[in-house]
Amino acid sequence: MNYKNFYNAWVGYAKGTRQLLLERTVVPASIRPDDFLALTTDAEELERITNNPSISGKYDAEKAGTLSLAIELDGSGNGKVVNHEGRNRAFVAKQSGLERVPLNIIVVNKEGVSFGEIKQFTGQFSPVVVKRFKLWTRDTSLSMSDPLKIGDTRDVAGYSIKSQYNNEIDGLHHFIRKKFNSENALTDLGYEGYANALNKAYTVQDSTGKEYTFAKNRIHPTGPAQQTSLYHINLVPHPVEVHGTLEAANKLTYTIKKKQGE
């Protein structure tokens, strides 16, 4: 399940209540790969993953990004996993010997219980109990003159390309999204503030010389019925609009350059 489908599925779970998404709490954490699999995978699915030769190889942290669990709280200090994203990557991480992997916990607070009061978590498909989440604090001393930590410049191949990790997205679109999700200083800005910070810090152009800016929540020309995505940063104008097709846009290199004197 890719990132967009994860949130679409969560919207569906919430009976179409988009406001619930907007009011969600995202808690940065880390988790043991075994615990993630226990919370998200039944025996049949685990066997399928284990016997799938395409779900193998060395864990690549940069490509893998951050795993996600959506957790619904009850009034007794317990949390139940109701959606997830990343069990294939968790399996690869386990096979690669990693002790922990980064995790975003999306919390829906139904009964007024704070995240810090949760006693235990139960699995999405089984009553397995996990108590070993480790909350972690990410870099909050981020320099807004270089929020993407690219130095002077960064070249990114392609705009939105499917990769081997659970149909995740590589290219510039995924690069800026992963940075947003991995830095508290950026997530605290919200998406509109993130786009503004990027525009203040950088210029961006593709290998044909076309220049772009960053924007929040605009119409996605490649999506169904060109709908606006809730959690999206896109280039303006969109590379698909400029170059005609996503395939053409993905053949280009996108250069992010730090503005001088910023």
The reply to whether 167 and 105 lie within a common domain is no
Does a structural domain hold residue 142? no
Q: What 3-state class would DSSP assign to 71?
A: strand
Which parts of the chain register pLDDT below 50?
1-23, 164-166, 228-231
Whether 243 is in a domain gets the answer yes
Please give the residue range of the domain that contains residue 181: 153-258
201 and 92 in a common domain: no
Residues 76 and 157 in one domain: no
Identify the pLDDT of residue 209.
97
The pLDDT of residue 256: 97
pLDDT computed for residue 217 by the predictor: 65
pTM for the complete prediction?
Answer: 0.52
What 3-state class would DSSP assign to 103? strand
pLDDT at 180 (0 to 100): 79
pLDDT, one tens digit per residue, over 103-155 is 888 877 655 555 555 667 888 888 877 776 777 665 556 788 898 889 999 99
What letter would DSSP give residue 207? Answer: T
- Predicted local confidence at residue 113, as pLDDT: 52
The count of structural domains within the chain is 2
- Please work out, in degrees rounded to the nearest 5, the angle formed at the alpha carbon of residue 98 by the alpha carbons of 93 and 100: 95
CA distance 254 to 154: 8
> Which helix (DSSP H) or strand (DSSP E) does residue 113 occupy?
none
- Residue-level pLDDT at 258: 95
